[in-house]
Chain A
């Protein structure tokens, strides 16, 4: 998160604060107080890219209640805009016929929806730092990943909750591709592969991992695959 300092109070655990001592994020953002938050954006004055409109309408048609489409719709908007900017939220709101405030409340709840500026087409690297991974050195891996991506603003590295791949701990998800078990040296390779536009660290992709259950191993040998 950008722009907060810590004020050390004589040896106590420092309290993270934003500028001017505020503990509330967004305290310094400009707000139009005259604007009614409960207004659905006018479709006439809110241009929505055709592709995005189609994605959102497709999603809405799948559910008995159109509100259910909020997650897929926000996902689609994030893909297009890089993050959920106020404009992106307005576009989704205009198509879904809901208020931007409602969508913002949803967007801020979920970790995968970005409400801070990100580049269009940026790469998401989620490093799992939960128990199983951290037992095997995930915190160090995260530091290495941060260092490897330091010069690359299009690579967004985040520490993440358990990603459900403790069998390949310590692991990371790179644009949705699960990789592991990783060593610190893999960090640089991941960044390099991303920029070269090739499959990332193919030898460590989870999708190729075979079962370790001895019964399955025996069956594999028996059936010859």
Chain B
């Protein structure tokens, strides 16, 4: 089903004339002719779930916003930094006006007159394209005062981040947008009640807002017929890692994961077999090749013990060790932990040291129990889910690959006993900006 990716490669689609020729901003006209309540009801009928990871229903979230005259904000989360995710990048780069149209429609539905897009600083090229598109849309009267002669007015500001994974977390993003360090906040109050500048704030992922015009176009009920009963519509899935044809693919929810990985992605390189895969970015618990027939949607993946997350599949083939991937993963989260909550700050660093212990031949199989136990103390004990995002995949790796990890421990111990442990000490390459790792 070609919906979000319809015409995505047409040259010049990022400019207004081409976008309009393809029917752009017609859905905005249609939405502005409806009442905000009807637009929201239409989005509700579509059962659109948030595409940023949590999968919360968009219309429900928008419905939490208090009514009445007050400063309300819409924030589009374009801080895509989940390892393995790159869908928003392609959508923004190739079709920025669809996102803008979605933002204007969503702000109309939720009664909001100030909107922001928070884009990660690394997406400099995409941000330039988006900025140009916003200027075009202002010029043409699609953003601004009394849009297309209607009651609706909204302003839109593009805000560039500066490189911090935690700013993809909604409350960390809000703090960053307010000009502070991107530390997550205590919830509740949720952003819908008290968000940006303490005002009610609707935060949605790029792909969620991007989908809105397509829903208005075909009607919410019609859209809900796509996909499965509880995961409606289409989704951009990003496939990367040990795969023959990495890239973004538009899929309908519910197709088997095997079809995505082998059918679309071409499977692992010739002669290799899948060892495990992350179904929804590096924060999701890993699945093995036995799970390849799971239908790819929110609920089936949850039932399989993992999650859809950002729909970013990372495939790891049998030429890599579990430990090697675990080390990369843990080091990333230890670096990106903002340090506000103790279980995450200490837990990610302790786990990194445990992995280094295994590699230097100091660990015993009992360490795996300790490591798994440390993970259970992180999950659910912090303001945000960054710690969980490390704990869940690490926990699943220990559970599913215990034998291999025990063999690694034995092998490293043997190497250390033979006096060659120094050679394998993994002082990583990525530490140059992290400073020294304190050892207590």
Contacts and interface: CB of A to CB of B under 8 A. Distances in A.
Given A13-B425, A15-B439, A25-B435, A110 B84 contact: no
Contacts of B335: 161
Interface stretch (A33-41, A182-190, A191-199, A207-215): A207-215
A107 B83 CA distance: 23
Say what secondary structure dominates the interface of chain A: mixed
Interface residues of B, number: 89
Interface stretch (A43-51, A57-65, A147-155): A57-65
B86 A71 contact: no
Given A15-B439, A166-B84, A130 B328 contact: yes
Q: Choose among A62, A65, A160, A178 the residue with the greatest number of B CB atoms under 10 Å from its CB.
A: A178
Interface in A111-151: 111-113, 126, 129-132, 134-136, 139, 142-143
B163 interface: yes
Interface stretch (B6-14, B61-69, B145-153, B397-405): B6-14
Interface string B1-39: 110011111110000000000000000000000000000
Contacts of A13: 353, 356-357, 360, 425, 427, 439
B72 to A, nearest CB: 12
Interface residues of A, number: 72
A23 interface: yes
A159 B335 CA distance: 12
Given A70-B179, A130-B328, A215-B250, A14 B427 contact: yes
A4 B434 CA distance: 12
A117 B195 CA distance: 36
B81 A161 contact: yes
A204 interface: no
Given A23-B438, A75-B160, A167-B247, A210 B9 contact: yes
Nearest 7 Cβ contacts at the A-B interface:
A166-B240, A111-B163, A176-B124, A16-B436, A110-B162, A67-B179, A212-B247
Interface of A: 1, 4, 6, 11-18, 23, 25, 62-65, 67-72, 74-75, 105-106, 109-113, 126, 129-132, 134-136, 139, 142-143, 158-169, 173, 176-178, 206-207, 210-216, 219-220, 223, 225
23 contacts: A13-B357, A13-B425, A15-B438, A16-B427, A16-B437, A18-B436, A67-B178, A75-B162, A106-B180, A109-B181, A160-B430, A161-B336, A162-B165, A162-B332, A164-B81, A164-B120, A165-B89, A166-B84, A166-B241, A169-B240, A177-B125, A216-B5, A225-B11
Given A71-B176, A211-B247, 4 more contacts: A112-B122, A159-B429, A164-B85, A167-B238
